[in-house]
Amino acid sequence: MTRTWGWLAAVVDIVLIVAFALIGRSSHAEASSLSGLWTTAYPFLVGWLVGYLVVRGWRRPLRVWPTGVVVWVATVAIGMLLRVLTGQGDVAGDPLPLSFVIVATISLAVFLLGWRLLAGLVLRTGRRGRGRA
């Protein structure tokens, strides 16, 4: 069962990170090409992968702490670092606009921690409901 949740959590995280990149690109009226989407998403996907491996996310994939928090922090930190190193997102000479860091940090927290909170709530509620039968 844990193995299945590990894969499911990985897929959900990846889909949400790609959705984050897609939303960001569309909000800035950037082309919706696959290559453009990949260029925007891959730094965060690399950060996610590092975080998931470091915390061994497949062991406790639905846990907010430490899994969700480590994955979220790594996704943001490494994603931002790779964006700066590859010259992405430069705005008027600022390689890392504070507004983008804030929006990305909050958005990815909502995505990567939010679904884990909801899943935990649903699973706990389901267990409680079955216990009453």
Per-10-residue mean pLDDT of the chain, 133 residues long, equals 84 98 86 88 98 97 97 98 92 90 97 97 82 55
Please name which of 128, 107, 120, 127 lies closest in space to residue 64, comparing C-alpha atoms.
120
In the chain, the N- to C-terminal Cα span, in Å, equals: 23
3-state secondary structure of 25: helix
39's tokens: 């260029």
* pLDDT recorded at residue 32: 73
* pLDDT recorded at residue 30: 72
* pLDDT recorded at residue 2: 65
* pLDDT recorded at residue 131: 61
* pLDDT recorded at residue 122: 93
* pLDDT recorded at residue 41: 97
114's tokens: 């939010």
Q: Do the beta carbons of residue 46 and residue 79 sit within 8 Å?
A: yes
